Amino acid sequence: MKLPRTVTVFHLPESSVMEEPIVHVVIPEYGPDTETWMTPIMRFLRDGTLPDERNASLRLDIPTMRVSYYNPGDNDEELRGFLEEIDERRDQARIRTAYHQTRIARYYNTKVRSRSFLPGDLIFKKVIPAPGYHRLAVWETAGKALI
């Protein structure tokens, strides 16, 4: 099915949604003459006027949840609680580190063949010649362990 390329446009003489203007906004905590951070916003919604100054909207001091619910007494209690937990957290970190190191050591030791030598055992020393020189020195042969 092909869609038509023409679009029908209707011009409405009035708005399709009837809007009632905001007459009065009341904040229960404050009186009607109290200036708050919402006053410029309410003035704009009620009267449709913007602040006179250009940067007045940038100076709006809107408190955040973190600032409005800050209580110094609760903060001190939480800091004391963190200080009490710090030793436990250090111990847990040491335990995790020791566990991690044992796992790494176990992985490393599976790849390494252990060899033990006693004094007087004959050992073979592998010597790689220097590049470009194809002879070994006379003294680089099998030797004895001097442990």
Does 139 reside within a domain?
no
Does 73 reside within a domain?
yes
pLDDT band, very low/low/confident/very high, at 17 (cuts 50, 70, 90)? low
Does 127 reside within a domain?
no
Does 85 reside within a domain?
yes
For residues 59 and 63, what is the distance between their CA atoms, to the nearest angstrom?
Answer: 12
For residues 62 and 37, what is the distance between their CA atoms, to the nearest angstrom?
Answer: 6
Judge whether residue 109 has pLDDT over 70: yes
Does 21 reside within a domain?
no
Name the domain count of the chain.
1
Tell me the torsion sign for CA atoms 43, 44, 49, 52.
Answer: positive
Does 59 reside within a domain?
yes
Contact 32, 41 (CB under 8 A): no
Model confidence over 74-96: pLDDT tens digits?
Answer: 888 888 889 989 999 999 999 99
- pTM of the complete model: 0.33
pLDDT band, very low/low/confident/very high, at 125 (cuts 50, 70, 90)? confident
In DSSP terms, 8 is beta-bridged to: none
Tell me the torsion sign for CA atoms 72, 75, 81, 84.
Answer: negative
Q: For the chain, give the mean pLDDT.
A: 72
Does 8 reside within a domain?
no
Does 53 reside within a domain?
yes
In DSSP terms, 144 is beta-bridged to: 122
Domain that holds residue 66: 39-111
In DSSP terms, 143 is beta-bridged to: 123
pLDDT band, very low/low/confident/very high, at 46 (cuts 50, 70, 90)? confident
